[in-house]
Structure 1
């Protein structure tokens, strides 16, 4: 009887684990293949520790010119709200020097609304039906952590990824990756699942630490290089503030 009571107490204690505010902060440095630094990122993610795991709520990203550029003012900003979904946040991205902004919202639980003002051009508005496995923007980072057991055991995961400037989504695969120049505890890549799209879109390679922290990103970024294309870069991340709970299940 004492053992049974002890078991009940342990279960009750785990269920009663408190929920409290938590902060996750990290920085990124984006560079070309030759090592030339293009820009810096500052990330601040406010969330909650629930049942011992970090749940993101609001994410603010500031994009800064590289050090030595002569400017310390942000050239772009992004706000993400994960309160409805950790993998499908609302997105508000602005890059004023190209007069560009992008908004992703969800006016209905099954609908995605997209507003994209092109660099110095027209504003495109569209909606699309939302598949259950859709991943949006930086939600891919949380998607990786929510599939952490598959990541560390080398399994593949299929999903849909939103392409907001094209007004649609595409089938992608998260799978193990190999790369001779990128070092991480776990390397994965996100690549198109379509045979034809494979020839048009290069995979994005991601490196993660044992704790589930994104340490390196290599591929197309969401920061514009010029009016016609975005930067392709390798971004290396460093954590400045860890939440007081686990990042992975």
Structure 2
């Protein structure tokens, strides 16, 4: 009950507007100023489906993501859920769908733009979108032991699978009871030209606490943005 009250108080404090049932709330802020940019509301799974709602601080729903597992069970427990994401401000859409025996990647930059499509064989995608959380839990022992883990990430934005590397790093703050990871491009030369992701997981529950890096939601002008997202679990 105290956790629920705390979550409701948090929701009210940030003025993002959604009042329904949630399994997690993410507050996305500018890394420097701490200004709130948007809120993520991760809804409980309903069978094989779940949703993530994105709200502006003014209380407007600006985007939505739909997740669906392919083989039954919750989409939160698979590294490769099907994904449909739509931005209601400028119409950008990202999709990773299972079609027959292949993955279909679809992307369009705006509502009136043409779709860009690509296909991946089943073995070419280890992780799809939010499935990275399930991938971390599946590889927890290796990551906690300091072993770098490479994986192929299906990116509809790029129309291909991108090979990434996750590895344990020293936590920027404290570190007790947490596992801190850095995710970057697997190819050494390309790392010089691309940013990385910094993630903090709680050791006890293996839940994501902090995400710092390029987010999967564009800004209001349709440009990429680097934010810090802190997650809270009712």
Q: Normalising TM by the smaller chain, what interval?
A: 0.7 to 0.9
Contact (CA 8 Å) 2:29, 2:227: kept in 1 or not? yes
Contact (CA 8 Å) 2:22, 2:41: kept in 1 or not? no
Moved over 4 A (4+): 181-184
Q: Of the two, which has the highest radius of gyration?
A: 1
How many residues align? The count is 205
Distance 2:67 2:121 in 1: 20
Contact (CA 8 Å) 1:91, 1:105: kept in 2 or not? yes
Equivalent residue in structure 1 for 2:163, among 154, 166, 171: 171
Q: Does 1:161 align with 2:153?
A: yes
Match of 2:59 in 1: 72
What secondary structure does 2:206 align onto?
A: coil
Q: Does 1:221 align with 2:215?
A: yes
Match of 1:243 in 2: none
Match of 1:27 in 2: 25
Equivalent residue in structure 1 for 2:225, among 216, 226, 231: 231
RMSD, matched Cα: 2.2
What secondary structure does 1:223 align onto?
A: coil
TM alignment of 1:43-192, pairs within 5 A: 43-46=42-45, 57-66=48-57, 71-84=58-71, 86-109=78-101, 111-119=102-110, 120-131=112-123, 134-181=126-173, 185-192=178-185
Distance 1:148 1:226 in 2: 36
Contact (CA 8 Å) 1:58, 1:81: kept in 2 or not? yes
Distance 1:226 1:199 in 2: 28
Gaps of 5+ in 2: 1-20
Match of 1:247 in 2: none
Distance 2:222 2:54 in 1: 19
User: Which has a greater percent of strand?
Assistant: 1
Match of 1:10 in 2: none
Match of 2:35 in 1: 36
Mean Cα displacement is larger for which, 76-85 or 155-164?
A: 76-85
Distance 1:45 1:31 in 2: 24
Distance 1:164 1:132 in 2: 13
Distance 1:153 1:47 in 2: 34
- Provide TM-score, normalisation by structure 1: 0.75
Distance 1:25 1:239 in 2: 6
Distance 2:28 2:210 in 1: 10
